[in-house]
Amino acid sequence: MTSIIDPNSPLRLGVVGNPISHSMSPQLHQQFAQQFGMKIQYGKICPTVKGFNRVLNDFFQSGGYGLNVTAPFKQQALQYATIITQRAEDSQSVNTLVKTKEGILGDSTDGIGFVKDLHHKQIDFQNKRAVLLGAGGVARCIAQALLLDGFEVYLINRTQSKAQTMADALQHLGSIQLYNNEPAIDLVVNSVSFNAEQFLQQIQFDPKAIAYDLNYGAKAESFLTAAKDYTAQQFDGLGMLLEQGAESFGLWTGKYPDTSSIHL
């Protein structure tokens, strides 16, 4: 892709979602920019579902360069982009948009951000077997990244047919199926927003198993507290937030920041 960055002007970036007031992305990306002495303008954008395309058109036509995309717009962003990466196509989700001379590029950095956070935590997975709770958009991103990283992926979801549809769509990437009491699970990932802890008792964990909630802060407390009875270590999704953001920043600028020095 051919960049259209003007080195003499601050880079206009932003995050689009609804709601969006809680987003920490502006603080995150300002710290990334400071590492390279770059000037950016990074704002929050909160369109309606019907107004999504119009608002994005206004942003890019008025000099905007890149956007992070969060709920509930990741599937709309997939349709909005004129060029999509393979991982965005596999994930059926776009969380990063970039204006290029060829068009609007759509990519998904959620999955790679999640896997990079696991690698930074230097966890030694004995069996490479993961149970993923949920089958929504972000779950598909995580499943895709885990499969590419060599995991066997097992799905638990309230609606089994939805989980089976996701498994069918990703089976070309590796071993993915509904969970059926398979032993030696060493990673459980929660992608649902509430009551995920009810599924923990169904899983046969390895003694060194890890629990990871894609939520962070107060939203992750219930699941991770319950997971202490089943797993050796528990993590929330703040590390994933940093890593997927760093991947987005790299897509926009070609510069990949050091996430270890970021404070939120």
Catalytic residue ranges: 74
| C-alpha radius of gyration, the chain, whole number | 19
CA dihedral sign, ordered 86, 41, 116, 193: negative
In the three-class reduction of DSSP (H, G, I as helix; E, B as strand; rest coil), residue 233 is classed as strand
DSSP codes, 13-56: EEEE-SS-TT--HHHHHHHHHHHTT--EEEEEE---TTTHHHHH
* 3-state DSSP of 128-146: CEEEEECCCHHHHHHHHHH
Residue with tokens 């600028």: 253
Q: Could you give the CA distance from residue 97 to residue 108 in angstroms, rounded to a whole number?
A: 9
Torsion over CA: 176, 181, 182, 185 (sign) = positive
Q: Is 48 left (phi over 0), alpha (psi -120 to 50) or beta?
A: beta
Evaluate the CA torsion angle 173, 177, 179, 181 in order and state its sign. Answer: negative
CB 106 within 8 A of CB 84: yes
